[in-house]
Each structure stands twice: as C-alpha cells, then as structure tokens.
Amino acid sequence: MAIFVDADTKVIVQGLTGGQGKYHGLRNRAYGTKVVAGVTPGKGGQDVEGIPVYDSVAEAVAATGATASFIAVPPKAAFAAILEAAAAGVGFVVCITEGIPAQDEAKVFNTLVRDYPNTRLLGPNCPGIISPGKCNIGITAGEIAQLPTPGGPNVGIVSRSGTLTYQALYELKQLGIGVSTCVGIGGDPVPGTNFIDCLSEFQADPETQAMILIGEIGGSAEEEAAAFIESSVSKPMSAYIAGVTAPEGKKMGHAGAIVSGGKGTARGKMDALRAAGVHVGLNPTEAGELMAEIVARLI
C-alpha cells in the first residue's frame, strides 16, 4: 500500500499546456503515473504529446474518471484552480505554485474545510508526492526514490522543505532503504496538509514500518507533531530540523521560516521531538543513518 496516491490514481494536470505543467506532467507520466488529461481554459480539444486537454476540470473528470489533480498555474490563478478541482469532485489536489498570497491560502484552506471536506490539498509551494514505483505527482525526480521492499521494512517521509525532501529520499536510496510514500507538504504558513495528517496516515499504513520527519524553523508545526507522536504514533522515527544557526527575527527563505519571540527555534523543535521518542539527527545524512539503524532492528 501507500498513502494518498497509488498505482490506480488517475491524474489531471491543470496548466498542462504551460511550460512547467508540460515539463513536469510529462515527467510524471514517464515515471508511470496515470496522467489522463490536462486542463487549460480555451484550449479544450488540443493534446500535449497524446494527453487530451479539456476546458474545465469537470469535463476532464467526466471523461477520464480522474481522482487527483496536479496544479501548475501562476499564483493569481491558483486559488480558483484549487476550488475548481474540488468542485469537480477531485479527492486529492497537489499545488506546486509558490508565491500565493497568505490570505488566499487561508481562504482556500477554510473553503475546502467548509465546502469540500472530501478534497485534500497538498501544498501549495510544495514538491508534491511520490509513492515509489506507483505514482509521482509534482516535481520530485523519480530516480532518487527507492522502491519499497516487498514485505518491508519501508519508510514514510514527510518534509516541510522541498530540497530536503529530495535529500531525504536520496539518503535512503544510497542506504538501500525502501520508501512507501514521500510527502512534501511545503513550508508556507497555511499548508493544505500538515505533519499530523501524514503521520496519521503512515501510522495506519501497513506498508510503512518507520517514518522520517524533516522540519525547519518557524511556526509550531513540529512541536504539534511531537505531541501527536507521543500520544498516537507507535512506529519508530528519525528526524532532522533545518535552521539551527538561524538568527531570531530574520526571515529565512520563505514565509514559514521565521523565528520570533523565542518560538519556532530549531533547538526547541528538536527537544520536543526527542522528548516524544524520535531519534533526531544533526544533519540530513545523520537522520538517514539513524533510520538505517532503526530499519536494521526491524528486519
């Protein structure tokens, strides 16, 4: 099994006729993902290397039975694109767009909760999701993802940082450790899917025997995850928190990575995770090595 997406997931790409949508949509298809349609208003009837394009998500879903959407549109169009997918009954939406105003993110998140509770949003400003060998939606290179080991043990990855999502995958690849699913949740202030959502799914997934959490400074998401781990997670975990040397009050990288008032520090997050029983590495490689030790004990 895997979480959120698997070999049966049918994907549409909103923005398939654009540069980023075409590039990554075709890469996803080449990986083996069932990319069944694209959506660009006004370009219905065209195709992109054999993938039919529709004017609306509703038309694409009706024609293909798609259950997931990959959104690669400019920031101004992302709000409407997410809600269009939800209104069409798409259950899983991945939005890689960065630069969406925080106010729009908050509005779309709360609209989904209120009006479309059966739609899960991953992102925005995230690398996406990959269940190795089954489905890849987003911008992650499938080559760096180790296929799951038949019978396990396999590791689930959840990360706020896009770049460190890739490094976590590659660290496990070099160690020959199978991955069930890797989820890049993004680091913006209002993510559609958070650490706890993913940890809960991994905890329930029989193919996932251990987990890696990659966090970073800013906000309280990691501390909240630590509280959830302590109360509700029994599977072993390792973790890495980026930003140990970041100065307080200075924005680091993007809107979610800021430390203020002594809160959101890397040290505080690391302490909270250690208190919950998580093995915390001082760098991404060490987090991978700690996971190798965990996996060795599970064999």
Per-residue pLDDT of the chain (299 residues), as tens digits, is 799 999 999 999 999 999 999 999 999 999 999 999 999 999 999 999 999 999 999 999 999 999 999 999 999 999 999 999 999 999 999 999 999 999 999 999 999 999 999 999 999 999 999 999 999 999 999 999 999 999 999 999 999 999 999 999 999 999 999 999 999 999 998 999 999 999 999 999 999 999 999 999 988 999 999 999 999 999 999 999 998 877 666 555 554 555 555 568 899 999 999 999 999 999 999 999 999 999 999 98
Tell me the residue type at 81.
Answer: A
CB 68 within 8 A of CB 45: no
Tokens 């958070």: give the residue. Answer: 194
d(CA 106, CA 186): 14
- Check residue 289 and give its pLDDT: 97
The token duo for 207 is 């193919």
Burial class (CB in 10 A: 0-12, 13-18, 19+), 220: middle
d(CA 270, CA 240): 8
Q: What digits encode the pLDDT tens for the residues 104-125?
A: 999 999 999 999 999 999 999 9
Return the pLDDT at 1. Answer: 77
User: What is residue 189's predicted lDDT score, i.e. its pLDDT?
Assistant: 87
Q: What pLDDT, on a 0 to 100 scale, did the predictor assign at position 244?
A: 80
Q: Which of 254, 268, 280, 288 is catalytic?
A: 254
| Nearest residue to 96 (alpha-carbon basis) of 58, 49, 134, 129 | 129
C-alpha span between 80 and 169 (Å, rounded):
32
This prediction's pTM: 0.95
How do residues 256-284 score in pLDDT, each as one tens digit?
A: 555 555 568 899 999 999 999 999 999 99
Instruction: Report domain extents, the chain.
Output: 10-122, 141-298
Which has the closest alpha carbon to 18: 107, 96, 84?
96
Q: What is the C-alpha to C-alpha distance for residues 244 and 246, in angstroms, rounded to an integer?
A: 6
CATH, domain range 141-298: 3.40.50.261
What pLDDT, on the 0 to 100 scale, is given for residue 263? 60
Catalytic site residue 279?
no
Question: Hunting for tokens 């106010």 — which residue is that?
Answer: 103
10-122: CATH topology is Rossmann fold (3.40.50)
10-122 shares its CATH topology with 141-298: yes
